[in-house]
């Protein structure tokens, strides 16, 4: 009797174990319908945000700084005075040049009045007048350069001048694409917190002015993705650590590697922000998802639904737990194209932890505006 009871208990235990195993196996998968949808191919870029327009202004004449008229964050107009140097010597140089010009002109008149003057003497005197006139023009320009003015309308991003500083006069006002980095923030620009600060790398500018509503992402791309990129492709830029997504477009794609380590090369890519009125910060990191192509009406399943064998064959498990041989095609993010073996509406089993519906992809409206949805770079890796 005891033996019979023990046998019954053992049988129940075995049945429970087997049933639990079946439940565990069933619970580890989920049924997903095979579907057709439009898919996009994308390239993920990472880089740094910077103003698209920047002017690096420095004095073109030497002297002692006697005024600084602007501070970081101040809006300036084209031609507005930024700073000045002592112009006493420059004004004296203008006076001397004007006096020399007057003397040269007087010499021409003297030669003309002389009965014995030759044409060669008159030509030499006229040449001297032209030289002195050029000296006057140069002296006046140098006097004007004693006032450092803004080459563009924008916001002051850096001031590296103080009253009393000695400047060498080896610079000038140059417009460029670049960034002005620092530690403060104002008007959507990452700016230095004090009057002086560091310019963008290598600029050496005494005052930096940027346009605050024109931004770009400076990134790099590897050899594998380079052929897929072209100017004009729509993109979505996401500043690191935020859920902000802004529309953009590929601006330039470099074909000369900026750096190479062993066999790995990186090529420069700039992505222009096209969405107006956004608040961005110069020098901050950001990711961009670039849509390189749209493929309509593609039959796909979650990539994890497909099992790849060593001989190159591929299979999926149907909802009835039978095995179906399939021919996979292109991969779109976390989904895989099926060219043979399945039809729209078929159901396959996918591990629960990786069940993914047809992913939402950035949809672009007129002029590259983002229509829907808010994209996540992680979803397109």
| SS3 category, 269 | strand
Q: How, if at all, do strands 370-372 and 147-149 pair?
A: unpaired
> What is the DSSP track for 326-349?
EEEEEEETTEEEEEES--TT-EEE
From first to last of the 381 residues of the chain, give the pLDDT tens digit. 444 444 444 444 434 444 443 333 445 889 999 999 999 889 999 999 999 999 999 999 999 999 999 999 999 999 999 999 999 999 999 999 999 999 999 999 999 988 888 999 999 999 999 999 999 999 999 999 999 999 999 999 999 999 999 998 876 554 444 433 333 333 333 333 322 233 343 357 899 999 988 899 999 999 989 999 999 999 999 999 999 999 999 999 999 988 755 667 899 999 999 998 888 888 899 999 999 999 999 999 999 999 999 999 999 999 999 999 999 999 887 899 999 999 999 999 998 865 444 444 444 444 444 444 444 444 433
| Reported CATH class of domain 54-86+146-210 | mainly beta
Nearest Cα neighbor of 228 from 269, 257, 258, 261 is: 269
Cα 47 → chain centroid = 6
Residues written for the chain: 381
Q: Which fold has domain 29-51+214-381?
A: Elongation Factor Tu (Ef-tu); domain 3 (2.40.30)
Each domain of the chain, given as residue ranges in start order, spans: 29-51+214-381, 54-86+146-210, 90-144
Q: Are the beta carbons of 363 and 372 closer than 8 angstroms?
A: yes
Query: Considering the entire predicted model, what is its pTM?
Result: 0.58
- Phi, psi of 337, rounded to the nearest 5 degrees: -70, 140
């Amino acid at each position: 009797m005891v033996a019979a009871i023990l046998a019954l208990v053992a049988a129940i235990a075995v049945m429970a174990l087997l049933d639990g195993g079946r439940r565990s196996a069933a619970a580890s998968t989920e049924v997903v319908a095979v579907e057709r949808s439009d898919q996009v191919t994308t390239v993920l870029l990472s880089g740094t945000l910077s103003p698209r327009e920047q002017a690096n202004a420095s004095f073109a004449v030497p002297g002692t700084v006697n005024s600084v008229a602007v501070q970081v964050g101040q809006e300036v107009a084209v031609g507005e005075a930024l700073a000045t140097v002592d112009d006493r010597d420059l004004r004296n140089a203008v006076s001397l040049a004007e006096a020399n010009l007057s003397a040269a002109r007087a010499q021409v008149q003297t030669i003309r009045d002389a009965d014995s003057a030759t044409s060669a003497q008159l030509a030499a005197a006229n040449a001297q007048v032209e030289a002195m006139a050029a000296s006057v023009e140069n002296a006046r320009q140098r006097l004007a350069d004693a006032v450092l003015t803004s080459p563009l309308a924008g916001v002051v991003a850096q001031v590296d001048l103080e009253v009393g500083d000695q400047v060498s006069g080896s610079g000038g006002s140059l417009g460029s694409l670049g960034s002005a980095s620092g530690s403060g923030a104002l008007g959507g620009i990452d700016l230095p917190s004090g009057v002086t600060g560091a310019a963008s790398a290598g600029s050496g500018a005494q005052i930096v002015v940027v346009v605050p509503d024109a931004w770009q992402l400076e990134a790099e791309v590897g050899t594998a993705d380079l052929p897929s990129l072209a100017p004009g492709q729509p993109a979505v830029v996401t500043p690191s650590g935020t859920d902000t997504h802004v529309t953009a477009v590929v601006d330039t794609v470099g074909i000369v590697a900026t750096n190479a380590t062993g066999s790995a090369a990186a090529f420069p890519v700039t992505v222009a922000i096209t969405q107006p009125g956004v608040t961005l910060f110069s020098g901050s990191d950001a990711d961009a998802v670039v849509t390189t192509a749209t493929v309509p009406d593609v039959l796909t399943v979650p990539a994890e639904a497909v099992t790849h064998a060593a001989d190159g064959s591929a299979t999926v498990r149907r909802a009835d737990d039978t095995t179906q041989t399939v021919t996979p095609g292109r991969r779109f993010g976390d989904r895989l194209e099926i060219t043979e073996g399945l039809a729209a509406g078929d159901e396959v089993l996918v591990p629960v932890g990786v069940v993914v519906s047809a992913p939402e992809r950035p949809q672009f409206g007129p002029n590259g505006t983002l229509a829907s949805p808010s994209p996540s770079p992680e979803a397109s890796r």
